[in-house]
Amino acid sequence: MTGPVVSNTLAKPPDGGWGWVIVFGSFMVHILADGLTYSWGIFQVALVKDFKCGEGPASWIISILVGVTLCSGPLTSALVNRYNCRVVTIAGALLASAGLAISSVAQDLLTLYISVGLVTGLGLGLMYLPAIVSVTCYFEKYRSMATGIAVCGSGFGMFLMSPFLGFLINRFDWRTTILITGGMMLSCVGFGALFRPLAVTEEDEEKGSELKPLEAKTEHQLNGQPPQISLNGKTPTSPTSNGTSDGDSPTQNGPKRPHSIHGAQGILDNVLTPTISDKARLALSQPQLQQVPEPPRKSAFGSGIMYRKDVLYGGSLANLQHHNRSNSHVDNRKMSHHSSRHHMTHGEEKPLMRNRRKSSRLDDRPRFCGIPCAQETADTLQEMLDCSLFLEPVFILYIISNFLTSIGFNVPYVYIVKLASDRGVDEESANLLLSVVGLANTFGKAFLGYVADKPWVNRLYMYNISLTVCGLSCILCIQCSTFTSFAIVAAVFGLSCGAYVGLTAVVLVDLLGLDRLTNAFGLLLLFQGFASFIGPPITGGLYDYFQSFNHGFIFSGLMVSISGLMLFTIPAIQRLVERRSAKVGATDDTTVTTPVANSNS
């Protein structure tokens, strides 16, 4: 009886075929999941009336739901890597549906905190990431269009769900409505079943050395040229983009499948040797092979999807080289500087130390924080939760910006219906405001996604301007008094807020490189989740105290606008870091060459 088949090969995206069926399934998942989340403001009004509570206590329901959904990102990624998108999505749909069904019989807010916030929030978290990852695995050339169609289901879901939920609540009550919503969420089991894992063909196996996770080559391999990204066997022709930063190496940050071997002399000198083929590895002596454990191998049971470095990148890969080109000279200087000193930075030392720790317990199961788990799970969690990125000033600024954005981002979704009702807009028309936001959000994501792929666009500035406008539109809500004025401001908010979701990943890649996207995105989800916990309750608490939404909407709008304005300083910070790196490099070069000059004299 043979054991499980193992493979180090990733399947090549077919750019079509069953992939379009998966796009449809992802689109429907976004309609139902985001339609519920962003239309919760309708439930908020009904819950405050039924439980006779303040806006602050009731808002904790949606805050916990959104926070848990975002914070579960690293866990969901690990499960996707261990199993596959289909299994995780189905499990999430069952969990979310069960949480909503339990909520229909809740007798107090505490029960809703658990059933809607924790249970349904975790279920939605298990659905969101697989709905995107399943699309990116099937598309490369047409990825931007495919992911754009899928995520547009979010705005379309708001457009459909908000009037539908308002109709059900007026016809029945919130309990019956939330039970019906749970039944609708159960249909995501069928949509998740469409996420068929991409099979590895015999052709892929034959080209296994080419179809491997995206990894940056070291400076030693390229003889001073900037590292290039291997996109499923297609190496970009442009030598100007690398997607790495100071201290990056092919074995850094968790789930990379390194194909390099550290020889005995290489370990002593702390220098990475070039990548070698499997056949060349067999020619090495046995003592050499025993010094470093085998790189992680993907079993037939594990999906290994998260080993792809571009799996969370929804933009066009065709223009990726151009948008990273401006940073290539900085990375080249850094790599040359570290090469001349012949030592490894903290980022390069870590995988070596990890390999040494693994070699001391080769018979034990892989562990994360001391907990035994599957190799795919440990790799993904180590990658996404690696805190070495906090040594990057640009990333620190970006994550602070996202924290501030998440504090105010959800406030209009939760309270604009109540605000419009307080200003004299009838309840049915007030519910339609969420449809306006959803429809504008759909066009906004499509437009921003299309323009962001153009090589002449500065995506960072587009992102910053969109956030600034989004915050200002939130503040302008307090000046509205008619449905028309509310609808105009809601449309502006919907158009601009599409950048927050649609451009986050592409801006991260522009700033940090594709090789560090998984790590950056994992940490970013945690901070977004923590901020979402406190955003709506702050506005609700301010309303309960002042009996007015003015203070809460001003506070939330300022948080979003400030988060966009502060990112305009990133180019200046990058130039400052570049000058410091150049100065340190020049000093070290002088230190190295001076003894030689003295000896010759």
Q: Is residue 336 part of a domain?
A: yes
Asked if 276 contacts 258 with a C-beta cutoff of 8 angstroms, the reply is: no
State the average pLDDT over residues 3-12: 50
pLDDT band at 600 (very low <50, low <70, confident <90, very high): very low
User: Which stretch of DSSP H or E encloses residue 161?
Assistant: helix 143-171
Please name every residue paired with 231 in a beta bridge, in sequence order, or none if there are none: 234
Helix axes 143-171, 483-502, angle to 10 degrees: 140
Report which of 153, 148, 137 is spatially closest to residue 188, judged by C-alpha positions.
Answer: 153
Q: Is residue 601 part of a domain?
A: no
Q: Which residue has the tokens 């890649």?
A: 509
Q: Is residue 128 part of a domain?
A: yes
Report which of 394, 315, 398, 307 is spatially closest to residue 571, judged by C-alpha positions.
Answer: 394
Q: Which amino acid is at 40?
A: W
Could you give the number of structural domains in the chain?
A: 3
Q: Which of 147-151, 353-357, 371-375, 523-527 has the lowest mean pLDDT?
A: 353-357
- Burial zone of 300 (CB within 10 Å; 0-12 exposed, 13-18 middle, 19+ buried): exposed
Last residue of a domain, one of 151, 173, 199: 199
From the CB of residue 162, how many other CB atoms can be counted at a distance below 10 Å? 27
pLDDT tens digit sequence for 434-451: 999 988 988 888 887 778
Tokens of 138: 């099937």
Report which of 320, 324, 345, 326 is spatially closest to residue 334, judged by C-alpha positions.
Answer: 345
The residues, ordered by sequence, that sit 6+ positions from 244 with a Cβ below 8 Å of its Cβ are 216, 227, 331, 335, 513, 515, 516
Q: Which of 14-18, 168-172, 188-192, 253-257 has the lowest mean pLDDT?
A: 253-257
Q: Is residue 577 part of a domain?
A: yes
Q: Is residue 599 part of a domain?
A: no
Same domain, 146 and 34: yes
Tokens of 589: 């070069």
Same domain, 12 and 149: yes
- pLDDT at site 292: 37
Q: Which amino acid is at 547?
A: Q
Quote the domain boundaries for residue 234: 214-385
Same domain, 454 and 543: yes
Cα separation, 341 vs 590, whole angstroms: 11
Helix (H, G, I), strand (E, B) or coil at 298: strand
Q: Which amino acid is at 425?
A: V
- pLDDT at site 553: 94
Report which of 192, 49, 214 is spatially closest to residue 134, judged by C-alpha positions.
Answer: 192
Cα separation, 141 vs 146, whole angstroms: 10
pTM of model > 0.95:
no
Same domain, 350 and 220: yes
pLDDT tens digit sequence for 224-273: 343 443 333 343 444 444 444 444 443 334 444 333 334 333 333 443 33
Same domain, 253 and 365: yes
Asked if 11 contacts 208 with a C-beta cutoff of 8 angstroms, the reply is: no
Same domain, 62 and 21: yes
Separation in Å, CA 286 to CA 271, 282, 289, 291, 452: 21, 9, 5, 9, 51
The residues, ordered by sequence, that sit 6+ positions from 371 with a Cβ below 8 Å of its Cβ are none
Last residue of a domain, one of 199, 224, 251: 199
Same domain, 118 and 188: yes
CATH number of the domain at 491, please.
Answer: 1.20.1250.20
Per-residue b/e over 48-72, b at no fewer than 16 CB within 10 Å? Answer: beeeebebbbbbbbbbbbbbbbbbb
- CA angle in degrees (0–180, nearest 5) for 527-498-543: 65
Please name every residue paired with 372 in a beta bridge, in sequence order, or none if there are none: 367
- pLDDT at site 2: 36
Q: Is residue 437 part of a domain?
A: yes
Same domain, 354 and 225: yes
Asked if 181 contacts 36 with a C-beta cutoff of 8 angstroms, the reply is: yes
Same domain, 377 and 522: no
Asked if 518 contacts 527 with a C-beta cutoff of 8 angstroms, the reply is: no
DSSP state of 172: S
User: Which stretch of DSSP H or E encloses residue 270?
Assistant: none
Q: Which amino acid is at 64?
A: I
- pLDDT of 431 strictly over 60: yes
Please name every residue paired with 260 in a beta bridge, in sequence order, or none if there are none: 275
Separation in Å, CA 168 to CA 34, 165, 349, 585: 18, 5, 59, 67
pLDDT band at 597 (very low <50, low <70, confident <90, very high): very low
Asked if 585 contacts 336 with a C-beta cutoff of 8 angstroms, the reply is: yes
Same domain, 374 and 479: no
User: Which stretch of DSSP H or E encloses residue 368?
Assistant: strand 367-368
Q: Which amino acid is at 222?
A: L
Helix (H, G, I), strand (E, B) or coil at 275: strand
State the average pLDDT over residues 271-278: 38
Same domain, 134 and 238: no
Last residue of a domain, one of 369, 385, 401: 385
Same domain, 338 and 470: no
Report which of 161, 199, 187 is spatially closest to residue 90, judged by C-alpha positions.
Answer: 187
